[in-house]
Structure 1
């Protein structure tokens, strides 16, 4: 399988930069995971302001998928879209927390204990347009 999230983060921020660990404070982990630089640049270029809320997920779902012409960009954008989805869930659903899976993939743990691999949702959204980010959010909150 490809590099894990932590490996990609270290590549982007320098090999010596520490990645998040399960023991870290949730707010620090959430801040790190909410960076989503590529997605935020795309949104800015389209005139969208990502406010870490559900309406911004809906706005992202409406973007023309011009990134699909570049597979590498689609993969990175999908990862960012998933982290952004997780950020919105974390900030709007009380009792939600981040956790790193054994392979280093960040997952959202919902209050009922269900886990959501948000980066898988994001990569699917970037590559195929489905599920829409808003639908994935609703799946998380509705169970």
Structure 2
């Protein structure tokens, strides 16, 4: 999309990075988990390359093997980074005992592990989308050990 004022803003500030979740004062953990699991752009990109995202650690390894063609488009890279982080969080929550979504007061979603450690999965997703490191599978393995 070529919108001059938006392009000028991006030149000064870089692409948008982040996700926020806002809702009722009494959050619905299952509803939040479902919303955060969508990762529509990532799922579409993966499907185009024959990668099935089944919320398993193996699917994170498959994502790590994709050629990063999205890096040519800063807007796509930003959205894909959000999705990659949320997908990593979804895999953690669904496969690591005691892991759950935690939403900070500012609306930022993180994964809280049974140890109490919080993983900023969105930041990890952005790092992966822009530089390829850390790999999603590596981030999963480190978090799963905690």
* Equivalent residue in structure 2 for 1:116, among 99, 114, 119: 119
- 1:13 alignment counterpart: none
- 1:89 alignment counterpart: 92
**Alignment pair present for 1:62 and 2:76:** no
Structure ID, larger Rg? 2
CA contact (8 A) 1:82 1:121 kept: yes
Instruction: After superposing the two structures, state which structure 1 stretch, 122-131 or 102-111, moved more.
Output: 102-111
Q: TM-score, normalised by structure 1?
A: 0.86
- 1:27 alignment counterpart: 30
Q: CA deviation at 1:105?
A: 1.2
* SS of residue matched to 2:20: helix
> How many equivalent pairs are there?
132
Gaps in structure 1 of 5+ consecutive residues: 8-18
Q: Distance in 2 between matches of 1:117 and 1:77?
A: 16
* Equivalent residue in structure 2 for 1:138, among 112, 117, 141: 141
What is the RMSD computed on CA atoms of the aligned residues? Answer: 1.7
Q: TM-score, normalised by structure 2?
A: 0.84
CA contact (8 A) 1:52 1:87 kept: yes
Distance 1:125 1:29, change over 3 A: same
Q: Distance in 2 between matches of 1:114 and 1:53?
A: 21
Q: CA deviation digits over 1:96-129, x for unaligned, max 9?
A: 1111123211000000100000000000000000
- 2:44 alignment counterpart: 41
Q: Distance in 1 between matches of 2:17 and 2:35?
A: 18
**Alignment pair present for 1:75 and 2:75:** no
Q: Distance in 2 between matches of 1:21 and 1:116?
A: 23
